[in-house]
Amino acid sequence: MITQPYHLYIERSDASKNMARYYVLEISATLFGEVCLIRSWGRIGKRGQSKIHHFSREKEAVDLFLALMRSKRARGYRPCPTPIPAST
């Protein structure tokens, strides 16, 4: 069971490089009681890619969540007040 919700949506944009990217991190529980970290990324307005990491303990998922968040912040990603939904 997850003790609190973890969800992060951040963006990185640079018009001079034609760059408009998003990155999403979310920790949730599976139907079988495992904890998973779901990462999604891609160009803003597109579906992009995703990857799921499974963990036996919530602390392991939170540690990876925080490490990825720090890494993305160092690369210039910043929070966006209203996430733009991906097109299908």
Tell me: the pLDDT tens digits for 40-66? 999 999 999 999 999 999 999 999 999
Instruction: Count the Cβ atoms, other than its own, within 10 Å of residue 21.
Output: 19
The pLDDT assigned to 32 comes to 86
Share of the chain above pLDDT 90, in %: 75
In b/e form, how buried is each residue of 23-56, taking b as 16+ CB within 10 angstroms? bbbbbeeeeeeebebebbbbebeeeeeeeeeebe
- Model pTM score: 0.83
Query: Which token pair is 23?
Result: 């990155």
Average pLDDT, the chain: 90
Give the residue-averaged pLDDT of 65-71.
96
